[in-house]
């Protein structure tokens, strides 16, 4: 079973957790897209809150009913992918540049399920460069402050502005992304606090104490993990 088949199996397993009448948060990325397809195929009467323009377009094209967080205050279940799944279901997210909307939706959810292929499981977070979303104004200055915050956490790395096709990547909210190749994040909670204290940082891709369950596709089938 290749990585994409594992993602599909995890997405389909998560879709089985959805019940009629639920408000469902839809994540972003290739694994979340498998969940969206599987959910749409079930033709349940659900209302969905997408975490990105890309997911909204996919869900709408498949006939899912959409609404927005804000008017709706509470989400029954959110299903989303991750770039890394570490101990106690600590996560790195934001490879798809949707981390801010994802975190807003996750934090408004009664239950959050992360879906992934087996390669996403790691003994310690940090191999995947940590995405950090910053406002565009004076972002070079913010990047220096991020360097300081990383140093405070004994991480001597310089964050790199994410660029695609020769231009800085913009999030759906118009912000920029810096990626910090930390290597090993020994204390994710301390790093999360340090990054949030930097003016100009909107949010970061550390999702700690948010996931209630993981469904991980493996060559042997879908494995369920709890924090």
Contacts of 161 (CB under 8 A, 6+ apart): 139, 143, 168, 176, 177, 178
One residue of 15, 24, 25, 28 binding ligand 5RP per CB under 6 A: 28
- We find the least distance from the C-beta atom of residue 217 to ligand 5RP, in angstroms, to be 11
The verdict on 27 binding ligand 5RP (CB under 6 A) reads yes
Distances (CA, A) of 59 to 34, 56, 62, 145: 11, 5, 5, 38
In the three-class reduction of DSSP (H, G, I as helix; E, B as strand; rest coil), residue 28 is classed as coil
Contact of 185 with 194, CB cutoff 8 Å: no
Instruction: Report the catalytic residues.
Output: 102
Output the six-digit token pair for 62: 């498949």
- We find the least distance from the C-beta atom of residue 47 to ligand 5RP, in angstroms, to be 21
x/- mask, ligand 5RP, residues 72-91, rule CB under 6 A, reads: --------xxxx--------
Distance, in Å, from the CA atom of 56 to the CA atom of 54, rounded to the nearest integer, reads: 5
Q: What are 177's strand-pairing partners?
A: 133
x/- mask, ligand 5RP, residues 5-24, rule CB under 6 A, reads: --------------------
- We find the least distance from the C-beta atom of residue 21 to ligand 5RP, in angstroms, to be 26
Q: What are 113's strand-pairing partners?
A: 79, 213
Nearer to ligand 5RP, 149 or 203 (CB): 203
Nearer to ligand 5RP, 100 or 147 (CB): 100
- We find the least distance from the C-beta atom of residue 82 to ligand 5RP, in angstroms, to be 5
HEC string for 111-162:
CEEEEEEHHHECCCCCCCCEEEEECCCCHHHHHHHHHHHHHHCCCCCCCEEC
Distance, in Å, from the CA atom of 174 to the CA atom of 16, rounded to the nearest integer, reads: 34
The verdict on 171 binding ligand 5RP (CB under 6 A) reads no
One residue of 85, 98, 185, 216 binding ligand 5RP per CB under 6 A: 98
- We find the least distance from the C-beta atom of residue 154 to ligand 5RP, in angstroms, to be 25
The verdict on 99 binding ligand 5RP (CB under 6 A) reads yes
Nearer to ligand 5RP, 142 or 162 (CB): 162
Provide the binding-site residues for ligand 5RP, judged by CB under 6 A. 27-32, 80-83, 93-99, 102
């Amino acid at each position: 079973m290749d990585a994409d088949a594992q993602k599909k199996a995890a997405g389909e397993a998560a879709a089985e957790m959805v019940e009629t009448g639920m408000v469902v948060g839809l994540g972003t990325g290739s694994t979340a897209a498998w969940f969206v397809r599987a959910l749409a195929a079930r033709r349940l009467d659900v209302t969905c809150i997408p975490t990105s323009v890309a997911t909204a377009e996919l869900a709408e094209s498949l006939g899912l009913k959409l609404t927005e967080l804000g008017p709706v205050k509470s989400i029954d279940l959110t299903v989303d992918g991750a770039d890394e799944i570490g101990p106690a279901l600590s996560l790195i997210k934001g490879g798809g540049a949707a981390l801010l909307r994802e975190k807003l939706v996750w934090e408004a959810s009664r239950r959050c399920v992360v879906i992934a292929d087996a390669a996403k499981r790691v003994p310690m977070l940090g191999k995947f460069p940590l995405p950090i979303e910053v406002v565009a104004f004076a972002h070079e200055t913010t990047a220096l402050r991020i360097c300081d915050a990383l140093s405070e956490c004994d991480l001597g790395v310089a964050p790199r502005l994410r660029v695609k096709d020769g231009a800085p990547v913009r999030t759906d909210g118009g912000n920029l992304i810096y990626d910090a190749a930390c290597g090993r994040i020994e204390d994710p909670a301390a790093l999360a606090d340090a990054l949030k204290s930097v003016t100009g940082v909107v949010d970061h891709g550390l999702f700690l104490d948010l996931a209630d369950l993981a469904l991980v596709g493996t060559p042997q089938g879908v494995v369920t993990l709890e924090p």
